[in-house]
Structure 1
Amino acid sequence: MSETRDPRPRRRRPLRAAVGLLVLLAVIGYFAVQRASNGGGAPYCVASAQASAPGGSPETYEMSPEQAANAATIAAVGVAKGLPDRAVTIALATAMQESALRNLDHGDRDSLGLFQQRPSMGWGTPAQITDPVYSAAIFYDHLVDVPGYSRLPLTVAAQKVQRSGYPQAYAKHEPDATVLTAAFAGAGSVDCGGPAPTEPGDPQRVRDGLDRIFGKGSLHSVRPPGEQAGRAGSGAGGAAEPEVTLVEKSDGGGTAARHSRAMAHWAVANSRELGISRVSYDRRGWVAGQDRGRWQEQAAAPAKNGANGPYDAAPGEVRIFLSRGTR
């Protein structure tokens, strides 16, 4: 009997397949546990919007922290300009098609950035175009010049700004862009999981980032650092975390509240880059590296990280705490 007709190898194949399957399941289980606990693994962000149908599940869109930070900036710039959700959705769908929400340093011919804008076509200098705040702002400036843009099909409105060679491509991103709009600019939420930041954060960088988008003192005032330190919770070792607290002005109304929501979710989406350890707004809080990266309701969560805990923002406040770094 030749080796090819020996039945013994065939009897071992099911065993090898079973062992391989068990190893694969173990690897998948390991990464699932790591992700659920936020103790390790790759960081990620999930945008959530309310279900479109009664009784349905929330609609979600998952992305990397880089993509989330860029989406948050695009949405925040639209909110700061006082534009409707439809404008934000058009902008996000456009950036999803043009760059997959990545700030590219290359593209077709001289196209650059989130929207693949071209210096040779008058969009700005390469440095300006690769600045997400600038590129989003100039996209919106062109969009609002389109008559009736909010009533046009998304692909038509986007094409009138972009002049793309593939105008129908924007349409496929509209459902996901709608979820992102609700998450960053509306009643949805943005959760970001992964390890807590290890590098210290700089409150000035946070203030500068928010000022560039929303303007200085337009609808919010910044609580002086001395007052912030007196109210801040404590981190590891009992020392107060650096903090940026923004307070809605009394005459801001619903516009200020919309800005606050956008600020809070912008902070969460940029937490890794800026060393943000926790964010609190509207009786809810988010803590880096905890609670599976999800926002928690104040009533449902005990105080953490000190006496005041992360869920202690007063009405009309956005509290952003910065990591002191690991030692």
Structure 2
Amino acid sequence: MSKSDHHRPRLRSRLLRAAAGLLVLLAVVGYFAAKQDSTGGQGAPHCTVRAAGAGAGDSYSMTTEQAGNAATIAAVGTGKPMPERAVTIAIATAMQESALRNLDHGDRDSLGLFQQRPSQGWGTPEQIRDPVYSAGIFYDRLKAVRGWARLPLTEAAQQVQLSGFPQAYAKHEPDATLLAAAFTGAAPGTLTCTGPAPRPGTGDPRKVQAELTRVFGEKTAPRLGPPASSAGHSGPMERTEITVPVAAKKGAAVEGQRGWELAHWAVANAAELNISRVAYDGKAWIAGENKGRWVDRAPGTSGTGDPLGAGPEDVRIFVVR
């Protein structure tokens, strides 16, 4: 018997074991995927932004922490006001510097979403660890770059960051463009966030109200409403609502974009703030239901829209009581 003949049974046995192991792995992955799908996404919270438009296949998945930080970067940018291109540059920069996480460490004394350094005049450590502050000073320095809007993304970011790896920002541009469209409200309903519904007693409407004001500014004027029932879906009882007026700017298109910016921010921060439901312009997002997607009407209700009638004038946010 030749050496090759001698080794064939052993090789065949290894291949069979490897194939069997792969089948087991695929079965386990399929089981958990099916389980999450059937429960409406009750597993670990996560968020996905999908490209708008029929047949669009691009998407970006992230943790709720990353989604909340991206939403805040966008909100600070539009509040300056800075155009969507600036938001794309800021998000791409934070993707490279911190993977959209508010880090308490970094190279030398670098901190936060943008890895800004107290020793280089970016602010105190406490300020830099505040996403609202760190995003704000990033935009201020970007705006000071002459002709920033005409520069390639990587060059504009480098003018602000002075990084040792100036070309690293470029690879994040497609994903940052996708996130900027969602979190500025230019791509309505493209954000989905899955995970379990908040536990009863965990919601604090005043905390949500304060955070909206801190991120979007005093003119946002979120109002607290009276307690409301959870009629219309199977989740726990709720307390209405933090109602956020959608301020008119220059026509319905801009007004609607502002509404979706607020609504997407609330969904991205739902896990952190124990938000159970967000409603805007006849659509509703309900924590722990519908696979994290926006629906045209809440399950169990008749007619269209949110059970409490959210229209285009207000974003309505609900927390569990």
User: TM-score scaled by structure 2?
Assistant: 0.86
Moved more, 20-29 or 205-214: 20-29
Which residue is 2:47 aligned to?
A: 45
1:98, CA displacement in angstroms?
Answer: 0.6
Aligned positions of 1:217-296 closer than 5 A: 218=219, 220-226=220-226, 229=227, 233=231, 239-249=237-247, 253=251, 255-296=254-295
User: How far off is 1:260 after superposition?
Assistant: 2.1
Alignment-mate amino acid for residue 243 of structure 1: E
Residue aligning to 1:21: 22
TM-aligned CA deviation for residue 58 of structure 1? 4.0
> Secondary structure of 1:45's partner?
strand
Measure the CA separation in 2 of the matches of 1:233 and 1:308. 13
Contact preservation (8 Å) 1:154, 1:171: yes
Q: What CA distance in whole angstroms lies between the structure 1 residues aligned with 2:57 and 2:13? A: 46
Aligned residue number for residue 32 of structure 1: 33
Shift of 1:249: 4.1
| SS of equivalent residue, structure 2 residue 210 | helix
Assess, with a 3 A threshold, how the Cα gap between structure 1 residues 225 and 152 changes in structure 2: closer, same or farther. same
Distance in 2 (alpha carbons) for counterparts of 1:119 and 1:179: 31
Aligned partner of 1:208: which letter?
A: A
Q: Deviations over 1:176-229 (max 9, x none)?
A: 10000111111242111122222611111111111011112x2x4434423xx3
- Counterpart-to-counterpart distance in 1, 2:117 and 2:55: 42
| Residues 285 and 311, structure 1, Cα contact 8 Å, conserved in 2 | no
In 1, the alpha carbon distance for the partners of 2:72 and 2:82 equals: 14
Per the normalisation by structure 1, the TM-score is 0.85
Measured after TM superposition, the shift of residue 297 of structure 1 is 2.4
State the match for 2:110 in structure 1: 111
Matches of 1:118 and 1:104 in 2, distance apart?
12
Unaligned runs of 5+ residues in structure 2 are none
Go from structure 1 to structure 2 and tell me whether the alpha carbon gap of 1:17 and 1:45 turns closer, same or farther (over 3 Å shift). Answer: same
**How many residue pairs align between the two structures?**
312
Displacement of 1:109 after TM fit? 0.7
2:244 corresponds to which letter in structure 1? L
* Cα deviation, residue 68, structure 1: 0.7
Taking the aligned partners of 1:277 and 1:225, their CA distance within structure 2 comes to 15
Letter in 2 for 1:207: Q
1:196 aligned residue: 197
CA contact (8 A) 1:283 1:311 kept: no
User: Could you say if the C-alpha distance between residues 244 and 104 of structure 1 is closer, same or farther in structure 2, counting changes exceeding 3 Å?
Assistant: same
8 Å Cα contact 1:235/1:241 also seen in 2:
no
- In structure 1, distance between residues paired with 2:228 and 2:99: 42
Quick check: 1:303–1:311 contact (8 Å CA) kept in 2? no
SS of the aligned residue for 1:106 comes to coil
Q: How big is the shift at 1:295?
A: 1.2
Question: What corresponds to 1:323 in structure 2?
Answer: 320
Identity of aligned residues (%): 56
Q: Distance in 2 between matches of 1:294 and 1:284?
A: 10
Q: Quickly say closer, same or farther: Cα 1:101–1:222, change in 2 above 3 A.
A: closer
- What residue in structure 2 maps to residue 142 of structure 1? 141
Q: Is the 8 A contact 1:105 1:130 kept in 2?
A: yes
